[in-house]
């Protein structure tokens, strides 16, 4: 593994020694559309350390992907506008960094894997070309060396016959192999941080498990920070160290994974856990969270979850709940968080 570039990155002037790997701090993003202003992120904060896996959980439209895109700097602007907050990588605020510096961080500092590898890979270039171009353009490798490295990377993500596969086009790969190729591509510049945006959603269940295992192995091997964006609680349970649950552009609960499963600190998390199909409750009706997530153009007053919340009180309809610190590293944005935890 070559780590020369990452070592150089540590010496960047904006970076603070000893600062966390990645910190999202009170991030606000809105989409200005013809129908009005949609507040997609409303004060999102989380941090990730090297070797740690943070799972960001939430329904479609909760803002989990937008946060990731803002970190990568690939948010469509306009219609997107960042209206507040900071994203610090090794203590350096990326939102204030030059376009050039941001480009340097992409791929080698923070890399990203997308949900649908078929559309995320360029259909008219070979898989090898798409891995090699980063090595050639950003590491100045020769074509020959880049090809060799691309084969190594495909080998690392356990693609059989990597030597032959490197010459093939994305459409010649199966779904799982395509996602592996995508992972190999994201690892090309030895990133310190990997964001996986629903990496297994488009795959079969068995393939999902293989891809998650692979991601976990690679993360441990390289001591990378990993943000795993998903709406699948089952995927999260096995790999996440910590979980951040998002709802309507806010983080409603943040906790160590096992604590969250043992005792959810927010009615929304509780609802999500209850809606998992369970073998021991076979034959009974599956519980669901009633209603739909709010339109971000028109978020309910008070707690955004209040129209769907089974424990709703008057205060929920008027006041936005602050973050309650339930334990070290455990936060919940519910007026009744303490009661939930202490067990009714």
Partner 1 sequence: MGRYVLRRLLQLIPVFIGTTFLIYWLVWSLPGDAFAGKCGDRPCPDAYVQAMMDKFNLGDPLVVQYGKYMLNVLQGNFGETFRGLDVGELIGDAYPNTIRLALVALAIEAVIGLAAGVLTGLRGRGFLDNLVLVSTLFLISLPVFVTGFVLQITLGFELKWIKTTVSASPAPWEHLIVPGFVLGSLSMAYVTRLTRTSIAENKRADYVRTATAKGLRQRRVVGVHLLRNSAIPVVTFLGTDLGALMGGAIVTEGIFDIKGIGSLVYDGIIGKEGVTVTGVVTLLVMVYLLSNLLVDLLYAVLDPRIRYD
For partner 1, the closer CB: 119 or 161: 119
- The only residue of 171, 283, 284, 328 in contact with partner 1, by rule CB under 8 A: 171
- Strand blocks (E) in the chain: 22-33, 36-48, 53-57, 80-89, 92-93, 110-113, 193-197, 225-230, 242-247, 250-256, 324-327, 330-332
Residue 64 Cβ vs partner 1, minimum distance, rounded to whole Å:
16
Whole-number minimum distance, CB 107 to partner 1, in Å?
4
Burial class (CB in 10 A: 0-12, 13-18, 19+), 43: middle
CB of 105 to partner 1, least distance (A): 7
From candidates 25, 59, 116, 241, binder to partner 1 by CB under 8 A: 116
82 binds partner 1 (CB under 8 A): no
Interface mask toward partner 1 for 203-242; x: CB under 8 A? ----------------------------------------
Task: Look up residue 11 and give its two tokens.
Answer: 């010496």
User: Which region among 41-49, 57-65, 114-122, 268-276 touches partner 1 (by CB under 8 A)?
Assistant: 114-122
CB of 118 or CB of 273, closer to partner 1: 118
- The Cα–Cα gap between 165 and 169 comes to 8
Q: Pick one of 138, 148, 263, 311: the residue that binds partner 1 (CB under 8 A).
A: 138
Say whether 195 sits in a helix, a strand or coil. Answer: strand
Q: Which is nearer to partner 1, 122 or 275 (CB)?
A: 122
CA nearest to 159, candidates 179, 135, 145, 140: 179
CB of 267 closer than 8 Å to CB of 340: yes
Tokens of 97: 């960094």
Gap between the Cα atoms of 227 and 36, Å rounded = 31
Q: Is the Cβ of residue 172 or residue 204 nearer to partner 1 in the bound state? A: 172
Rule CB under 8 A: say whether 124 interacts with partner 1: yes
Residue selected from 55, 112, 303, 341 as contacting partner 1 according to rule CB under 8 A: 112
Q: Which stretch binds partner 1 (CB under 8 A): 104-112, 252-260, 269-277, 330-338?
A: 104-112
Can you tell me which of 134, 156, 255, 270 binds partner 1, judged by CB under 8 A? Answer: 134
- In whole angstroms, the minimum distance from the beta carbon of 290 to partner 1 comes to 34
CA distance 150 to 163: 9
**Rounded Cα distance, 190 and 200, in Å:** 22
| Residue 105 makes contact with partner 1 by CB under 8 A | yes
Using CA atoms, how far residue 4 sits from 189, 190, 295, in Å, is 10, 10, 46
If binding is defined by CB under 8 A, does position 266 make contact with partner 1? no
Closer residue to partner 1 (CB): 147 or 242: 147
By CB under 8 A, tell whether 119 contacts partner 1: yes
CA distance 11 to 55: 29
The interface region with partner 1, picked from 53-61, 120-128, 157-165, 173-181 by CB under 8 A, is 120-128
- Say how many residues make up the chain: 344
Candidates 151, 187, 189, 333; binder of partner 1 (CB under 8 A) is 189
| Token pair recorded at residue 55 | 């799972």
CB closer to partner 1 out of 195 and 337? 195
Residue selected from 4, 7, 34, 76 as contacting partner 1 according to rule CB under 8 A: 76
Edge-to-edge strand list for the sheet holding 110-113: 110-113, 193-197, 225-230, 53-57, 242-247, 250-256, 330-332, 324-327
User: Which residues form the interface with partner 1 (CB under 8 A)?
Assistant: 72, 74, 76, 103-108, 111-112, 114, 116, 119-125, 133-134, 137-138, 169, 171, 185, 189
């Amino acid at each position: 593994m070559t780590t020369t570039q990452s070592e150089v990155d540590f010496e960047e002037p904006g970076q603070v020694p000893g600062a966390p790997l990645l910190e999202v701090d009170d991030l606000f993003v809105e989409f200005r559309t013809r129908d009005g202003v949609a507040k997609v992120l409303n004060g999102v904060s989380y941090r990730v350390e090297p070797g740690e896996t943070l799972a960001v959980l939430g329904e479609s439209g909760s803002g989990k992907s937008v946060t990731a895109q803002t970190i990568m700097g690939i948010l469509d602007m306009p219609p997107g506008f960042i209206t507040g907050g900071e994203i610090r990588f090794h203590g350096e605020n990326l939102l204030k960094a030059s376009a050039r510096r941001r480009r340097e961080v992409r791929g080698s500092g923070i890399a990203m894997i997308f949900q649908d590898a078929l559309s995320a890979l360029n259909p008219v270039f070979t898989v090898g070309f798409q891995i090699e171009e980063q090595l050639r353009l950003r590491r100045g490798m020769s074509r020959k060396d880049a090809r060799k490295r691309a084969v190594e990377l495909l080998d690392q993500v356990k693609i059989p016959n990597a030597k032959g596969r490197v010459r093939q086009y994305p459409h010649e790969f199966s779904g799982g192999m395509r996602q592996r190729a995508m992972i190999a591509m994201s690892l090309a510049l030895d990133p310190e941080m990997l964001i996986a945006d629903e990496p297994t959603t488009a795959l079969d269940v068995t393939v999902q498990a293989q891809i998650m295992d692979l991601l976990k192995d690679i993360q441990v091997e390289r001591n990378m920070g990993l943000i795993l964006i998903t709406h699948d609680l089952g995927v999260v349970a096995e790999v996440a160290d910590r979980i951040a649950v998002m709802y309507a552009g806010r983080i409603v609960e943040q906790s160590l994974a096992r604590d969250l499963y043992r005792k959810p600190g927010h009615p929304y998390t509780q609802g999500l856990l209850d809606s998992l199909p369970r073998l021991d409750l076979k034959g009974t009706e599956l519980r669901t969270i009633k209603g739909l997530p709010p339109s971000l153009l028109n978020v309910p007053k008070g707690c955004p979850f209040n129209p769907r919340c089974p424990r709703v009180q008057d205060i929920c309809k008027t006041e936005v709940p602050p973050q309650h610190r339930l334990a070290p590293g455990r936060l919940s944005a519910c007026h009744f968080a303490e009661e939930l935890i202490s067990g009714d």
